[in-house]
Amino acid sequence: MTNIMLSGKTVLVTGAAGFIGANLIKRLLSDVPDAKIVGLDNLNDYYDVRIKEYRLEELNRNENFVFIKGSIADKELVNSVFESYRPSVAVNLAAQAGVRYSITDPESCIESNIVGFFNILEACRNYPVEHLVYASSSSVYGSNPKVPYSTDDKADAPVSLYAATKKSDELMAHAYSKLYNIPSTGLRFFTVYGPAGRPDMAYFGFTNKLVNGETIRIFNYGRCKRDFTYIDDIVEGIFRVMQGAPEKKDGEDGLPVPPYAIYNIGNNHPENLLDFVRILSEELVRAGVLPENYDFEAHKELVPMQPGDVPVTFADTDALERDHGFKPCTSLRDGLRKFAEWYREFYM
């Protein structure tokens, strides 16, 4: 592994106004104060743009942060950003998220996740970087019955277009690592949550519905399990991975061995959805988002599995711990408590 010094460098983060992107930039500005951070985001309205603007507002107060509004699917823009700023490290977190959304709007998924990522790879080829780190997803495992999911497992049977695009990103990155010796690391994130998160995620959507007195639908009759991973754990994982790039070396044939790696970042502790809803409801009451006498049972409906969903996600994080000395550890209750407190302050 090659040690990458971030101090004094320029780092590009795409998806800068997104949940993970904004939190990563916040961490970089805090821990590497002499680095220049260039953020790129198209600020699309897939979910409430006010939350994206809220995240950006804090980042824009720092003079070492430069924000550029635009899409990674715009090849000319991507090339001009790389030409102008010559980033040493690129972190691609821009994507059209949403397993279910990829079924209703497949074009936007392909445009961002395939065309956009191709543009990033091409830019890394033409303006070489020390390390490309990019977001993949636990969804690539499909309905793999073996748990916990290991990066050594086969992941070639996606059950959604979103998952297929993320697996495609990994394959394209491998090809570019092999062809052009670009050190790249893909990160398979497992159900990320926390304050100022994505409103399309279950914990956020459930909260909005409960506040409005609506019924929440719990899929697979509550039998699903998810490896919920708190945002600070995700950011810690990315931050460490950025500083340890796969080593460039030649194989026995004299050709480069692809400097390529894949890691899971998950909590390594799947939670039953019914337990998750119970803890969320308790923390919403504790934070004063909901009244103490709220009747949760009257607002719960157990329904069948949705297309594209999987029954369980469960991360094997041994490789991340071995190579980067980190294992996510935030408990679901602690994480949901921080979310509930933020929700009260932001919306109430």
SS3 256: strand
Q: Any alpha helices (H) in 60-201, and if so which ranges?
A: 75-85, 101-104, 106-110, 117-126, 161-180
Where b means 16+ CB within 10 Å and e means fewer, 321-332 reads: eebbebbbebeb
Task: Answer yes or no: is pLDDT of 210 > 90.
Answer: yes
The confidence score (pLDDT) of residue 312 equals 82
SS3 193: strand
pTM of the model: 0.94
Among residues 141, 162, 176, 203, the one annotated as catalytic is 162
Q: Any alpha helices (H) in 5-146, and if so which ranges?
A: 19-31, 49-59, 75-85, 101-104, 106-110, 117-126
Question: Average per-residue pLDDT in the chain?
Answer: 94
Q: Say if CB 15 and CB 94 are below 8 A apart.
A: yes
**Cα four-point dihedral sign 93, 98, 103, 104:** negative
What confidence tens digit (pLDDT) does each residue in 137-157 have? 999 998 888 889 999 999 999
Q: Say if CB 276 and CB 225 are below 8 A apart.
A: no
Cα end-to-end distance, the chain, whole Å: 47
Task: Answer yes or no: is pLDDT of 100 > 80.
Answer: no
The confidence score (pLDDT) of residue 224 equals 86
d(CA 262, CA 137): 11
Annotated domain spans of the chain: 2-193+229-268+314-329
What confidence tens digit (pLDDT) does each residue in 43-55 have? 998 888 999 999 9
Q: Say if CB 187 and CB 133 are below 8 A apart.
A: yes
SS3 264: strand
Fold of 2-193+229-268+314-329: Rossmann fold (3.40.50)
Whether 162 is catalytic is: yes
Report which of 317, 141, 151 is spatially closest to residue 236, judged by C-alpha positions.
317
d(CA 134, CA 185): 6
